[in-house]
Amino acid sequence: MIQKHVVLRALFGLYVVAGFAFVLTGTVQVVSAALPQSADQELELDVDIIKNRWQWDPDHITVGEGTLVRLNITNDDDYDHGFAVSEFGVDQRLPANSTTTVEFVASRAGDFTFFCSVYCGAGHFGQRGTLTVLSDDSDRVAYEDGITAESDLPIRSHKDSVERLGYTIAEDGVKEFELSADHIMWDYGDGHVIESWGYNGQLPGPEIRVTEGDTVRISFTNKLPVATTVHWHGIDLVNPMDGVPGYTQDPIEPGETFVYEFVAYPAGTRFYHTHGSHHGDEAQQMDMGLAGAFVVEPRDYQAPDVEKTWVLTERIRDGIFPINGAVYPETDPIRVVEGDRVRVRMINAGSATFHPMHLHGHQFKVISVDGNPVPEAAQLTRNTLPILPGETYDVEFIADNPGLWLFHCHELNHAAGGMISAVIYDDYIGGH
């Protein structure tokens, strides 16, 4: 597991800049800009960039508020990176094959993203980590101390997941759902168990499926150690229910419940996902698992013979690209019989990368884009379809070529990271 926590809250007494001298040796550079007058704690930490993987190690650093943070960052890549934390005005180039020291004071509490600020290739946009700055007096300190040992969290996998979220019909006819965001350890099925945040304790969250025009009431409880929100992606709802922190609502604090109520419109493959506690942490919350499908069926819905919903997500720092919370070969295949009409609803709920989804042995028609039906004359016939973050596509094909056929992401690093499923014909005997 790459994710590590480094917690330091020791008191070092008054730190005075003038009292320090830095030794310059070899490729170590010292950045002395923006040194503080004083800080009551300090943390010196070695950070590595894992070679050719666009990952920080550690990728989660926890410090107390007011700490002078000194990071000795080693970049063994043959290309430059950068280290930036926008909120603290830190942006430092990290030249290739060298160690650079970056200093700043973590002057206020919260979760902050540190990221690569120099474009460096394929993994650039995923090269992120989290700096958690704990305020000394918050309840969160005690809470985080309690869960820093990751083994305290329940370990779950796609085998524990429910496919669809059940509901009750209230006296006023509204469909009522209970949703929570939970802190768990998630097993993607490849032996790696990763600290995650999931709706109702699973990745992705359970599919919510309703009929167009239904009024839905979703009682959401935040059981995370951080504030969050829920956004209903692609639904034309009333503005106060849109789930954007600081814009349509206050962030939902740990332990709080917020009730979302809206009319499900228009029909189509939509999804729900965190919008973070502010604009800066949405990506982190998404990639830790806070997304699920929201399918609105039209009133006259004619279900195909076989229907699948795939939520495509990413844990870039861990090299994991799951389908419905599992990596190949743990992913569920699509089981068909010859002649079936098969619909796959694909949702890219990752924060950064696109997925050219490719089906072997068949052509499919793209029947919906972002949930909205494509007129028949305009439906493209394809076998590979790129899906950008935030997009959804419904594709349909006729099972007319018996066999065992892969259906996978053709960004082959993603395939290697698990984004592979298959179409399997019942009774087919053959192959290797």
Q: How far is the CB of 400 from Cu ion (least distance, A)?
A: 27
Q: Which is nearer to Cu ion, 201 or 319 (CB)?
A: 319
Q: How far is the CB of 331 from Cu ion (least distance, A)?
A: 13
Q: How far is the CB of 354 from Cu ion (least distance, A)?
A: 7
Q: Which is nearer to Cu ion, 367 or 409 (CB)?
A: 409
Q: How far is the CB of 390 from Cu ion (least distance, A)?
A: 14
Q: Which is nearer to Cu ion, 185 or 406 (CB)?
A: 406
- Give Cα separations from 429 to 236, 362, 404, 425 (angstroms): 47, 18, 9, 9
Q: Which is nearer to Cu ion, 45 or 416 (CB)?
A: 416
Q: How far is the CB of 350 from Cu ion (least distance, A)?
A: 8
| Contact string 337-356 vs Cu ion (x = CB under 5 A) | ------------------x-
Give the torsion sign (CA, 10, 14, 17, 20).
negative
| Contact string 352-381 vs Cu ion (x = CB under 5 A) | ---x--------------------------
Closest chain position to Cu ion (CB) = 414
Q: How far is the CB of 411 from Cu ion (least distance, A)?
A: 4
User: Six-digit token pair at 294?
Assistant: 């929201």
Q: How many residues make contact with Cu ion (CB under 5 A)?
A: 4
Instruction: Give, as ranges, the residues between 387 and 416 that touch Cu ion (CB under 5 A).
Output: 409, 411, 414
Q: Which is nearer to Cu ion, 189 or 319 (CB)?
A: 319
Q: How far is the CB of 287 from Cu ion (least distance, A)?
A: 14
314 binds Cu ion (CB under 5 A): no
Q: What is the CA radius of gyration of the chain?
A: 24
Q: Which is nearer to Cu ion, 222 or 392 (CB)?
A: 392
Please state the three-class secondary structure of 67-136 as a single string. EEEEEEEEECCCCCEEEEEHHHCEEEEECCCEEEEEEEEECCCEEEEEECCCCCCCCHHHCEEEEEEECC
What are the phi and psi torsion angles at 162 (to 5°)? -100, 145
Using alpha carbons only, give the angle 66, 70, 75 rounded to the nearest 5 degrees.
145
- Give Cα separations from 168 to 99, 199, 200, 217, 298 (angstroms): 58, 18, 16, 10, 20
What are the phi and psi torsion angles at 124 (to 5°)? -55, -50
Q: How far apart are CA 92 and CA 83, in angstroms?
A: 5
Q: Which is nearer to Cu ion, 110 or 418 (CB)?
A: 418
Q: Which is nearer to Cu ion, 345 or 355 (CB)?
A: 355
- Give Cα separations from 27 to 81, 100, 113, 141, 429 (angstroms): 15, 8, 27, 37, 61
Which residues have C-beta within 8 Å of that of residue 194, sequence separation ≥ 6? Answer: 1, 3, 185, 186, 188, 315, 318, 320
Q: How far is the CB of 314 from Cu ion (least distance, A)?
A: 8
Which residues of this protein are in contact with Cu ion, per CB under 5 A? 355, 409, 411, 414
